[in-house]
Structure 1
Amino acid sequence: MTGPHLFLAAAVAPTRLDPIELFLQADIVVQLVIVGLVLASIWVWAIIFGFGVRMSRLRSKSAAFEDEFWSNSDVDGLLDARRRKDNPSARVAAAGIQEFRSSHKAGLKDPEAARARVAQAMDGQVALEADTLAKRLGFLATVGSVAPFVGLFGTVWGIMNSFFQIGLQQNSSLAVVAPGIAEALFATAIGLFAAIPAVIAYNRLSGKVNAFEAGLGLFADKVHAQISREMESV
């Protein structure tokens, strides 16, 4: 009888980890931690893909506007409200040109001060565009720094529950504590699963924002040089 029983036991023994089973058997606190981390991970990936699409669109629209700006004499038509919508380069150029026109209307008594105001207006708009983009990345930074500790909380709670089961059953065998420890470590794994992509994406996307800001700054410098030449000819 021993042989067949051993054969059946081996036949039904699990051969791999089952995350769903671990979740269903976990303590309610550990389950809440896992659900929160999974939702955070889903939102992280949504931000990654959404931000990538948005950055690609903004770069394309800004590059098209800049090419048209230098080849088109109808500046007012380029800078109307419709063209400035969701176009950072258009808003940067509009900030400088509007400041130039305001100074010109006042009489340009101090050209150097007017140049400084134009530069300040465009630099401020460049910074505003970069800050607006970077705000979307704040959640990635939060998840990247907090998720491992949230997962660790679930782990600590699960291990505490395992020790409670040892005291309740007065049995310290591995069979008693192993399920609780496995559930606890599963929470840590989910925390890392949420945090690692968030950290990598934050660093990579922050670099893209910085590069985009540098490109806007270069365009602003060119516009400022053109406005300075306009001031000299007035």
Structure 2
Amino acid sequence: MMASTLSLALFLFQQDTSAATPPPSSSSAIVEMVHNSGPVAFTVLVILLIASIFSWAIMLTKWKSFNRAQTQGQRFIRAFRKSSRLSEIAAVAEQFKPSPLVSVFSEIHDEYQRQNGGRGLPRNPVALERAAQTASSESLTTMESHMTWLATIAAIAPFIGLFGTVWGIIDAFHGLGTEGAATLRAVAPGISEALITTAAGLVVAIPAVIGYNQLTARLREFGSRMDDFGRELLNAIENAAMLTPPSQQQSQAEEQRRRGF
């Protein structure tokens, strides 16, 4: 009777001790899985970590530069619409340089100056339109730098994780063959490698896809704004030329003929 009582007390004490022991947290479990990963799975995780850091650096840098370009563009538009002379805008355009609208204005203004000194109707309006399109294309090309890397990371990160998944499954089957029995101890390491690399690939790819789509939408918005501003600037040049007195226009035309234009 005494022995059974001591056995029951010892059993209850062991149960209380095991209940008092806190279960391992999910973060410590992930750290343990990464620590116990094989060389192939660890290499996959390192590659995905580098890709994630690079993609986040691109996204944060682009987002900051796009915000600065948008802010300066709004200020430049307000200054342009308040001014009545292109020479005044050309003098202060460098202050708004991060904005791609400044490049469009500079190209059109320079072409206008080459044609007839920045006075009167432009002799070749099509050349002004081509100058605006060229400036818009060059600005968008500059703003799109490194975007292909972001798209590449978003596309290949799941496949890199999938490679780790396949290798983990192969390792699990190899463990089954080594142990000779379908036990959890035999397949657990390979399955954990497969799961952790799959999750890592998704963690890298999902933010890259979202960031690429958002930045691409903002690039399309910048392109539309540059096209609209180019047309607005051409209209302003034509309207200003129409307001020039006829006598002044005639003298300008005679001067152009005298110069051989």
Normalized against structure 2, the TM-score is what? 0.77
The reply to whether residue 186 of structure 1 matches residue 184 of structure 2 is no
Which protein is bigger by CA-based radius of gyration? 2
> 1:101: which partner in 2?
113
Higher mean C-alpha displacement, 42-51 vs 32-41: 42-51
> 2:256: which partner in 1?
none
Q: 2: CA distance between counterparts of 1:38 and 1:219? A: 42
In structure 2, give the amino acid aligned to 1:124.
Answer: T
Q: 2: CA distance between counterparts of 1:155 and 1:32? A: 13
Percent of aligned positions with the same letter in both sequences? 29
> 2:211: which partner in 1?
201
CA shift in 2, pair 1:225/1:77, >3 Å: closer
- Compute the RMSD of aligned alpha carbons: 2.8
CA shift in 2, pair 1:84/1:64, >3 Å: closer
Normalized against structure 1, the TM-score is what? 0.85
Higher mean C-alpha displacement, 167-176 vs 196-205: 167-176
> 2:46: which partner in 1?
35
> 2:176: which partner in 1?
166
Match of 1:171, SS state, is coil
Aligned residue-pair number? 231
The reply to whether residue 63 of structure 1 matches residue 77 of structure 2 is no
Q: 2: CA distance between counterparts of 1:164 and 1:65? A: 66
Q: Match for 2:135 among 125, 129, 140?
A: 125
Question: Is 1:140–1:198's contact at 8 Å kept on the other side of the alignment?
Answer: yes
Question: Is 2:121–2:238's contact at 8 Å kept on the other side of the alignment?
Answer: no
Q: 2: CA distance between counterparts of 1:72 and 1:61? A: 17
Q: 1: CA distance between counterparts of 2:22 and 2:180? A: 28
Match of 1:64, SS state, is helix
Match of 1:86, SS state, is coil
Q: 1: CA distance between counterparts of 2:18 and 2:194? A: 26
Q: 1: CA distance between counterparts of 2:147 and 2:222? A: 15
- Identify the structure with bigger relative contact order (alpha carbons < 8 Å, sequence gap 6+): 1
Q: 2: CA distance between counterparts of 1:59 and 1:109? A: 31
Runs of 4 or more above 6 Å deviation: 4-10
Question: Is 1:89–1:219's contact at 8 Å kept on the other side of the alignment?
Answer: yes
Q: Deviations over 1:179-201 (max 9, x none)?
A: 21111111011000010111111
Unmatched segments (≥5 aa) in structure 2: 1-6, 250-261
Q: 2: CA distance between counterparts of 1:22 and 1:213? A: 47
